[in-house]
């Protein structure tokens, strides 16, 4: 069965290391017959949640008029969500965190998703990514019927493109292919 796969690339750098891994995951998932869309979050106009809860009394409509309504609908419609981010101070990039926070407007509609996580860091040990992974898992814990299906650690990469000749590239491709 082909699935709708939504990749949320949180890297602020186009063709940055985590963004490149997203492309490899996408290549594998498409080759397996899935419908895949990658959104570079940094290229969208998405403000941060103000915690006003306007959405609570307006049928899930957010008071902020930006690109998030479109992104959120795609999250609701997807079968698979890939969250990808470089590790910034042991956490996820602010651009992706804003997306996660803004799902509050319709968070009960984001359900029954398969989740994959992609992380990259200059540090060369996986343990440095555990807090970032906890952020991803924290979001998935709030999604009814969420299922974690895979984690990709791109370690020891800092400069743009350093990920290209690492085992993480093959892992991202194969993980995408397995969707």
pLDDT in tens, the chain (179 residues): 699 999 999 999 999 999 999 999 999 999 999 999 999 999 999 999 999 999 999 999 999 999 999 999 999 999 999 999 999 999 999 999 999 999 999 999 999 999 999 999 999 999 999 999 999 999 999 999 999 999 999 999 999 999 998 999 999 999 999 99
| Cα 32 from Cα 17, distance rounded (Å) | 23
Tokens standing for residue 20: 């490149």
Sorted by sequence, the CB contacts under 8 Å of residue 36 that are 6+ apart come out as: 5, 6, 7, 26, 29, 30, 176
Q: 3-state DSSP call for residue 170? A: helix
- Of 79, 16, 69, the closest CA to residue 42 belongs to 16
């Amino acid at each position: 069965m082909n699935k709708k796969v939504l990749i949320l690339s949180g890297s602020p750098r186009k063709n940055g290391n985590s963004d490149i891994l997203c492309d490899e995951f996408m290549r594998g998932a498409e080759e397996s017959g899935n419908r895949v869309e990658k959104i570079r979050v940094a290229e969208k106009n998405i403000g941060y949640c103000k915690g006003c809860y306007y959405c609570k009394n307006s049928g899930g409509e957010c008071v902020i008029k930006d690109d998030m309504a479109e992104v959120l609908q795609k999250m609701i419609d997807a079968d698979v969500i890939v969250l990808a981010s470089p590790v910034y101070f042991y956490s996820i990039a602010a651009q992706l965190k804003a997306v996660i926070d803004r799902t509050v407007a319709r968070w009960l509609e984001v359900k029954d998703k398969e989740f994959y996580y992609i992380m990259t860091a200059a540090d060369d040990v996986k343990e440095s990514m555990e807090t970032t992974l906890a952020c991803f898992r924290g979001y998935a814990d709030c999604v009814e019927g969420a299922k974690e299906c895979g984690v990709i650690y791109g370690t020891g990469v800092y400069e743009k493109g350093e990920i290209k000749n690492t085992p993480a590239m093959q892992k991202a491709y194969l993980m995408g292919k397995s969707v």
